[in-house]
Amino acid sequence: MSLSRYFPILDWGRRYDRTALTGDAVAAVIVTIMLIPQSLAYALLAGMPPEAGIYASIAPILLYAIFGTSRALAVGPVAVVSLMTAAAVGNIAESGTAGYVAAALTLAALSGAMLLALGLLRLGFLANFLSHPVIAGFITASGILIAASQLRHILGIEAEGHTLLEIAKSLWAHLDEVNVITLALGASATAFLYWVRGGLKPLLRRAGLGPRAADIGAKTGPVLAIVATTLAVWAFDLEARGVAIVGEVPQSLPPLTVPSVSPELLRQLAVPALLISIIGFVESISVAQTLAAKKRQRIDPDQELIGLGAANMGAAFTGGFPVTGGFSRSVVNYDAGVETPAAGAFTAIGLALAALFLTPLIHYLPKATLAATIIVAVLSLVDLSILTRAWTFSRADFAAVSVTILLTLFAGVELGVTAGVVTSILVHLYKTSRPHMAVVGRVSGTEHFRNVLRHEVETQPHVLSLRVDESLYFPNARYLEDQLGAFAADKPDLTDVVLMFPAVNEVDLSALESLEAINTRLRDAGIRLHLSEVKGPVMDRLQRSHFLDELTGEIFLSQHEAELHLRNPEAARAPASSGVAAKGAARSAESLRSGGASRNGP
């Protein structure tokens, strides 16, 4: 049992049959065809040699098949992680140097080690701190950045930079060097690929193909673009006219590489590796969960961390760079009828064959075509509607999204995502530091108590019932003191204050001090302090302090009981005294029942 938890392959491998094999094999062929151009393109984006993209798809996909829990996830280089790799490694070495490739290996190893550690320590919940708006904003901004960074390949000029301003400045400075033939190739490839996304499938349907075949046929668009532009470069010797091509690519299986563990390099890459790990994990797990939900399969987040960690380790030892589960390829995999992770193994075989035999064919492939593939792919990630959604829903979420987008675009990916997380946390702390509080009264004819400002309710002049709509902890402990003072000041003939605690999920030591101070101050003013609807966990906590001994009033199971008792102390004496006895204990239902009876009595 526990072995198959860490090796999900033991689980599905045991029940593998011919049906699964057929589904997996078909899916593998389609995904392999799709992955060849994608792998080359994302290698370009990451600043790596083209073969690294293929290598990064082979070992990782195999290792994920052993350790991963998703049936459909296809692991390999993806756009956002490749962009982050370029940003991180670009700070250490120049793209195209041996140092750059070595640093990328180390980055993959470091990221793999972090993912494995998080998985083994079962810390997958940490990824939750990347809120939905921060991820959405980050991916949108990354898409824009990636598209901008690829413009140089379309224009055929040298340009660099890791922020939008840097890229724009650099493009502007080299604008006089535009290669017109490259631009023509790149622009037409982009236009073609853009059309393919919407127009090829209906065309294939009209040509008589079935819906599934048309769907799959449409995915071959990038291959068509690659074949056509490669042939054009070869036939018209466009390389001599300045069109940048992929060039010599070694014909080989993935090499065995050993990532450097120089302390200086590890120190420089630690933060980027952590961010890449978390972003990669969040992206991958949301794809995996979306696809698993459709077939009612289960994804184990902690095991996913182990699967992705193993995949990145694999990339580090076979000449790759950081990888994660990709959205588009996984969807293709799923649509093609994948049954088990064995499809990944078959894809790996397909890519290994491609690495051995197809690489000479891409010698004349223009980089502009790869750039076009990337641009069309990432523009589908750009979705600025998150800004309007967040604005409508809450200013706090809007703040997090806009900080993330702006900083990602103009200060870099690492700062962008970090600032997004920090903003989310700060905004949350700020909000909880000034909690909502409502004076409540009884909704007529019920035992239910609501805000006097929103509902038509009954109140008693000498009782102030205040509902505290937040856990009480250090950022808001003193605020409660101030607010209670303000509310109490409006009621001169006050004898009793009831703090209604259904929304107080925690009371920490700072808040306990505040409650003690409130109790003392009210006592000095001749006012009793009661609590109602205190939850079990909070009650357990309060019992460990002296507060309950010093409390001038009582603890009521429900606000209704509190109101009955304070409205008519004589009639409700029984529940009141048992209320005192039960202070700090889980109240028995008996006293309440008598409380309920007295309500129906006089």
User: Which residues in the 450-479 window bind a copy of itself by CB under 8 A?
Assistant: 450-451, 454-457, 469-471, 473-479
Q: Binding residue for a copy of itself (CB under 8 A) from 447, 462, 574, 584?
A: 447
Query: Least CB distance from residue 509 to a copy of itself, whole Å?
Result: 4
Contact between 589 and a copy of itself by CB under 8 A: the answer reads yes
Residue among 527, 404, 517, 335 nearest 135 (CA): 404
Query: Least CB distance from residue 282 to a copy of itself, whole Å?
Result: 10
Report how far residue 556's alpha carbon sits from residue 103's, in angstroms, rounded to the nearest whole number: 63
Q: Which is nearer to a copy of itself, 220 or 297 (CB)?
A: 297
Residues 6+ apart with CB under 8 A from 493: 461, 462
Answer yes or no: are the C-beta atoms of 308 and 64 closer than 8 Å.
yes
Query: Least CB distance from residue 162 to a copy of itself, whole Å?
Result: 26
Contact between 550 and a copy of itself by CB under 8 A: the answer reads no
Q: Which is nearer to a copy of itself, 96 or 537 (CB)?
A: 537
Q: Binding residue for a copy of itself (CB under 8 A) from 32, 57, 519, 558?
A: 558
Residues 355-384 that bind a copy of itself (CB under 8 A): none
Sequence-ordered strand ranges (E) for 515-593:
528-532, 555-556
Q: Which is nearer to a copy of itself, 22 or 128 (CB)?
A: 128
Overall residue count recorded for the chain in this entry: 602
Stretch (H or E) spanning 325: strand 324-326
Total interface residues for a copy of itself by CB under 8 A? 81
Residues 390-419 that bind a copy of itself (CB under 8 A): 390, 392-394, 396-397
Sequence-ordered strand ranges (E) for 401-534:
437-443, 449-451, 457-458, 463-468, 496-500, 528-532
Query: Least CB distance from residue 367 to a copy of itself, whole Å?
Result: 38
Residues 268-307 that bind a copy of itself (CB under 8 A): 293
Q: Which is nearer to a copy of itself, 252 or 444 (CB)?
A: 444
Contact between 444 and a copy of itself by CB under 8 A: the answer reads yes
Is 62 strand, coil or helix?
helix
Is 427 strand, coil or helix?
helix
Query: Least CB distance from residue 538 to a copy of itself, whole Å?
Result: 9
Phi, psi of 352 (to 5 degrees): -65, -40
Answer yes or no: are the C-beta atoms of 563 and 460 closer than 8 Å.
yes
- β partners of residue 441: 450
Contact between 448 and a copy of itself by CB under 8 A: the answer reads yes
Contact between 125 and a copy of itself by CB under 8 A: the answer reads yes
556-587 b/e (C-beta count within 10 Å ≥ 16 → b): bbbbbbbbbbbeeeeebeebbebbeebbbeeb
Residue among 455, 453, 452, 456 nearest 465 (CA): 452
- β partners of residue 324: 76
Q: Which is nearer to a copy of itself, 241 or 593 (CB)?
A: 593
Q: Binding residue for a copy of itself (CB under 8 A) from 492, 536, 601, 602?
A: 536
Phi, psi of 537 (to 5 degrees): -60, -35
85-104 b/e (C-beta count within 10 Å ≥ 16 → b): bbbbbbebbebeeeebbbbb
Q: Binding residue for a copy of itself (CB under 8 A) from 122, 212, 241, 434?
A: 434
- β partners of residue 496: 463, 528
Residues 70-89 that bind a copy of itself (CB under 8 A): none
Answer yes or no: are the C-beta atoms of 583 and 547 closer than 8 Å.
no
Residues 485-524 that bind a copy of itself (CB under 8 A): 502-506, 508-510, 512-513, 517, 521
Query: Least CB distance from residue 481 to a copy of itself, whole Å?
Result: 9
Contact between 335 and a copy of itself by CB under 8 A: the answer reads no
Q: Which is nearer to a copy of itself, 25 or 443 (CB)?
A: 443
Report how far residue 71's alpha carbon sits from residue 534's, in angstroms, rounded to the nearest whole number: 45
Contact between 2 and a copy of itself by CB under 8 A: the answer reads no
Q: Which is nearer to a copy of itself, 328 or 545 (CB)?
A: 545
Q: Binding residue for a copy of itself (CB under 8 A) from 205, 363, 491, 541?
A: 541
Query: Least CB distance from residue 477 to a copy of itself, whole Å?
Result: 7
Contact between 445 and a copy of itself by CB under 8 A: the answer reads yes
Identity of the amino acid at 150: Q
Is 492 strand, coil or helix?
coil
Query: Least CB distance from residue 1 to a copy of itself, whole Å?
Result: 18
Tokens representing residue 71 in the block: 């049936």
